Chain A
């Protein structure tokens, strides 16, 4: 099943692995393929806005491109909308103090904030406002609390409207044909080990299944085995190279050495990842970009790389 044929895609990963770029790239690919797509950022850091070189996003989605809308999640607005749509509150305009108080309860009470936020995303899916909702979600350490919220609420809250609503939210989240989770990692020790841990925790604490891993910033294998041996040995011919090309070649060799060493270490981490995860779970590779660019250019480069990979999924 094509990743983008789902209706809700959470994109998570350890901090610093390029989660936002991948979420933005997936949203862009979906939009380009003709799907009406909403990209939602979950924290208030403005990373999605930065990825598209645009001003800060708001709760109300804003169109960024053909078929592409983006919003920033915000608990107060989500509560306001929830009260308007479901509780049919008469004083919608004046919920400010109530929302702040509620926000405080939600901060302390387990799962309340998460269910509100996840409920909003599931609502967009249920109402089919978009073909696909892509979420630049919480990092690996927090994602389970978010997508597992319907279960937590179901356990803790015995009556009330929220309890009733956890059912349809769970139905959407736990249907792998509708909801997907993409875990972004880099070929490094901690991101890979958090990815493996997360897959185990998802199974134990939520009904959401991972749909794909994105291995980001993978250094390309430049050399076959024989060439690789020669790269390692070149140090011994340094003086020959200095003689032929100047002293600066020492730095050229150092750069090759560092890159090659990191590529090998990274390759081992990726092999370990492949061995530790279910064989059916696809791993999509995005190469290290070596670009000076930021913002839209990066999104577009990552999207191009992912497009090639998605054809194989």
Chain B
């Protein structure tokens, strides 16, 4: 089990070359990945790349990644200047483009131009690449490998795609290997005419032809015959990509909110990372309420506030302090009373969050808190605020 001592975010980013940001959907993975890249570029220097999957439009604009495929672009100095910082290094950003990624893989692994063009022009190709063997997950890993191998960057931070299951990303490379090694692919690629004579596959083809139509199966078979020509390249590559997961230069950061379902998924993911001997850098608890809300003094004050809200004395002092109209005393009372009453709702959520956090903290060397912010993070300034919280 690889666990580092509690050293903080800077030490983690300084000691690793690849960071995989994982977690269940909707917890803010993309934003956190961008913040981690920014933290490294600003505070440590070097050339840092953030590979994002599906950023909110405003965040994508802020990072300068658009619909331009896999090309990385540098976040300009002016953007940093506008946000009031002078980075020690460079921040680059790229967006994962699954289609372009697949096309590139085909070009690389096709033995000749004929196979390459046949695959790229195959009508099933696009449909299949966007669906099978969790291709988004695999492509994210593949791109990480590619980017790291170029030697162009000191640190690559990868945001992982939204999956049905956060573990999919870990299994993606081995699924690719399994796929090429499977008996099914071999069956599918037996020349079509001789199939009916293969005893083992006969019932399958009889039913499948009847249900799916012979033409469709033949199309699929033709496609996989082409694919099989690329087996060696694909399998070799998938094994290399799989190796990255356990590489000592790789670390995983698990992002979660402190709500029940995402926190449980994070717990599961963390246990699985540990079981597989992958390096767990940190758990990041995102959008958490201020911890002080759960203090006993707070609820005692809320109680006193509920009572005091009706007192003319307190109202008058506030009206005077805020320089309000004397008639506003009643409105002030209403506001104070509402705030006092509603505090218990928030405190309840905060208590639940504290429980989740305690459960997570025994699992990871580091649980970093990112508080819930007053507004959405959609520019460098917002990301820097997030970085500030993560580094304390």
Contacts and interface: CB of A to CB of B under 8 A. Distances in A.
Interface string B361-382: 0000000000010111010000
A223 B335 contact: yes
A99 to B, nearest CB: 10
B210 A87 contact: yes
Nearest to B347: A255
B210 A161 contact: yes
Contacts of B132: 107-108
Interface string B329-347: 0011011001110110111
Interface string B213-226: 11110011000100
B324 interface: yes
Contacts of A237: 317-318, 321-322
Interface stretch (A120-128, A257-265, A302-310): A257-265
Contacts of A161: 210-213
A27 B43 CA distance: 52
Given A230-B335, A237-B322, A290-B349, A252 B301 contact: yes
Interface in A271-292: 290-292
Contacts, number: 230
A158 B103 CA distance: 27
A263 to B, nearest CB: 11
A15 B56 contact: no
Contacts of A290: 345-346, 348-349
A159 B220 contact: no
B305 interface: yes
Main secondary structure of the interface of B (DSSP, over half): helix
B164 interface: yes
A292 B207 contact: no
A253 to B, nearest CB: 7
B343 A255 contact: yes
A244 B299 contact: no
A247 B300 CA distance: 10
Interface stretch (A63-71, A187-195, A202-210): A187-195
Interface of B: 24-27, 56-58, 123-124, 127-128, 131-133, 162, 164-165, 179, 182, 184, 187-188, 203-204, 207-216, 219-220, 224, 257, 259-262, 289-290, 292-293, 295-302, 304-305, 308, 314, 317-318, 321-322, 324, 328, 331-332, 334-335, 338-340, 342-343, 345-350, 352, 372, 374-376, 378
